[in-house]
Amino acid sequence: MQYLAVRGGKPLRGSIPIHGAKNSVLPLLAATLLTPERCVITGCPEISDATAATEILRHLGCTVEWRGASVIVDASQASGNAIPSELMGKMRASVTFLGAMLSRFGWGRLSAPGGCRLGVRPINYHVAALEALGVKWDGESEDWRCRWEARFGGEVTLPFPSVGATENLLLASVSVPGVVTVHNAAREPEITDLCGFLSAMGAEISGAGTADLIIRGGKPLHGAVWHVMPDRMETASYLAMAAACGGDVALTQTDPMLLIPVLDALRSAGCRIETTGKTIRLLRDRPLRAIGTVSTAPYPGFPTDAQAPLMAAMLLAEGETRLIETVFSDRFSHVPELRKFGGAIETDGNCAIVTGVRRLTAASAEATDLRGGMAAVIAALCAEGESRIYGLDLIGRGYAQWIDYLGLLGADVSLQEE
Ligand code: EPU
């Protein structure tokens, strides 16, 4: 079994470029299905979730070619195949192919999506919203059959600003000959990125980045070239890592404006953060201090995906930090792993209370999900002695070149086999 050996305790120094965003590239790739013309997505991160999305496109009859960090999709020969459960189960974002299939073929056939285990992750908001626009659902979660009974515009209000449901609504609505208004839509920058690409393809969408999206559907869509936005969560993870280990780290090709609550939290922990254009530099040369209470929330709040990396950074921070998870029902699976390093964490429902300790000691830990895996790596990087991190595939789902990046920052890590 493969594991990462981490000899912790070294400050990090250096500069690394941030990749294109995982949570943007996946719906962007789904959107390439909407037109028979060629689309080019540039700045694609080499992560296994992006590969899984291209496998779905190929299964649907598209020609997909990776050229460096660009993915060229020709969906001219796409045919309406059902997406098998092996492909659906690889990630949560596979569900956004439903909206794209409904637009392109008029129907979609698929099973429940996979994804990180973060508590219950139903798709009831997707179902109710698409039904309100005229989609008929049949079958069980292992084989859903969906098709338009009629395509009509209208107003849909999401019970929660779900990222995936908003993406599915956008992808389906561009084919509706009428006006679709989505209230309480997700405002995440990845939604704005998707709206940008759809508009570049000829769609008419207003309100991107707000809670009210208006889609004037039925416009013919054509091929387009789009550059993926920078990954906010990769950026947040390396910032948390630099804060935890200390040192001087610069992250380039990112966007500081998309990370304000994360930067605020790390500044209040005692880190010096300088932002210039697309670069964020974090310096930490004094002990970390606890940051009080941080609650996760939909954008523009503190991102749930940064909760686990921040928790790892707070393990050595003097005082008590309370992290409240409000987006997912069970996103603390990293807590038992972080305790293995000597982290003092108590949980009470959706609140984790971290009391800073003086030192962490080496341990063997498992990546329990993508972000929790990175949190375990962060803890290992600050622990005395040699740690082992297992479950590396989960981390590779969303962090491109991450082991190389650790080396570039001066961390003492190596891939081992046992
Ligand atoms: N929810 C429902 N019913 C639905 C849809 C969502 O109850 O039909 C609930 C979920 O169970 C969850 C909450 O609403 O409790 C938020 O879910 P949302 O739909 O917003 O999340 P998602 O689309 O499944 C995306 C990202 C996640 C990120 C969340 C929140 C992708 C592929 N995934 O998930 O990313 O945490 O939005 O920002 O875009 C990650 O990158 O590590 C990750 C988990």
**pLDDT at 211 (0 to 100):** 98
Surface-to-core class of residue 120, CB atoms within 10 Å of its CB (0-12 exposed, 13-18 middle, 19+ buried): exposed
Ligand 1 centre from 186 Cα, in Å?
Answer: 10
Are 9 and 26 part of one and the same domain? no
Kindly state if the Cβ of 334 falls inside 6 Å of ligand 1.
no
Is the N-terminal amide bond of 300 cis, ω within 30° of 0?
yes
Backbone Cα Rg of the chain = 21
Q: Give yes or no for residue 224 having a pLDDT over 90.
A: yes
**pLDDT at 122 (0 to 100):** 83
Are 367 and 220 part of one and the same domain? no
Which residues form the catalytic set?
Answer: 116
pLDDT in tens, 272-294: 999 999 999 999 989 999 999 99
Q: Which of 227, 261, 285 is the last residue of a domain?
A: 227
**pLDDT at 109 (0 to 100):** 87
**pLDDT at 81 (0 to 100):** 80
Kindly state if the Cβ of 111 falls inside 6 Å of ligand 1.
no
**Which residue's C-alpha comes closest to atom 4 of ligand 1?**
123
Q: Which of 227, 251, 270 is the last residue of a domain?
A: 227
Domain that holds residue 182: 22-227
Among the atoms of ligand 1, which is closest to the Cα of residue 163?
20
Are 332 and 348 part of one and the same domain? yes
Are 13 and 63 part of one and the same domain? no
Structure tokens at 381: 């990087």
The predicted model gives 163-183 an average pLDDT of 97
Do 201 and 182 form a contact (C-beta atoms < 8 A)?
no
Are 234 and 186 part of one and the same domain? no
List alpha helices for 302-383, DSSP H.
Answer: 307-314, 335-339, 370-382
Please state whether 83 falls in left (phi above 0), alpha (psi between -120 and 50) or beta. beta
Surface-to-core class of residue 127, CB atoms within 10 Å of its CB (0-12 exposed, 13-18 middle, 19+ buried): middle
Can you tell me whether residue 194 is helix, strand or coil?
helix
The predicted model gives 218-245 an average pLDDT of 98
Ligand 1 centre from 329 Cα, in Å?
Answer: 11
**Which residue's C-alpha comes closest to atom 6 of ligand 1?**
162
CB atoms within 10 A of CB 374: 30
Ligand 1 centre from 123 Cα, in Å?
Answer: 10
pLDDT in tens, 174-212: 999 999 999 999 999 999 999 999 999 999 999 999 999
Confidence category of residue 306, pLDDT binned at 50, 70, 90: very high
Q: Give yes or no for residue 116 having a pLDDT over 80.
A: no
Are 198 and 218 part of one and the same domain? yes
Residue percentage of the chain with pLDDT more than 70:
99
Are 242 and 219 part of one and the same domain? no
Q: What is the mean pLDDT of the chain?
A: 95
CATH code of 319's domain:
3.65.10.10
Q: Tell me how far apart the alpha carbons of residues 67 and 230 are, in angstroms, rounded to a whole number.
A: 19
**pLDDT at 173 (0 to 100):** 97
Structure tokens at 411: 């961390």
The predicted model gives 87-93 an average pLDDT of 85
Kindly state if the Cβ of 123 falls inside 6 Å of ligand 1.
yes
Confidence category of residue 402, pLDDT binned at 50, 70, 90: very high
Q: Give yes or no for residue 71 having a pLDDT over 90.
A: yes
Are 216 and 321 part of one and the same domain? no
Do 375 and 398 form a contact (C-beta atoms < 8 A)?
no
Are 196 and 125 part of one and the same domain? yes
Are 99 and 34 part of one and the same domain? yes
The number of domains in the chain is 2
Kindly state if the Cβ of 300 falls inside 6 Å of ligand 1.
no
Evaluated on CA atoms 283, 285, 286, 290, the torsion sign reads positive
Probe target for ligand 1 pocket from 19, 22, 23, with the most ligand atoms within 8 Å of CB? 23
Tell me the pairing of strands 412-417 and 2-7.
Answer: antiparallel
Q: Tell me how far apart the alpha carbons of residues 217 and 206 are, in angstroms, rounded to a whole number.
A: 11
Q: Which of 227, 257, 291 is the last residue of a domain?
A: 227
Q: Give yes or no for residue 141 having a pLDDT over 90.
A: no
Are 279 and 304 part of one and the same domain? yes
Are 340 and 295 part of one and the same domain? yes
Kindly state if the Cβ of 233 falls inside 6 Å of ligand 1.
yes
Ligand 1 centre from 165 Cα, in Å?
Answer: 9
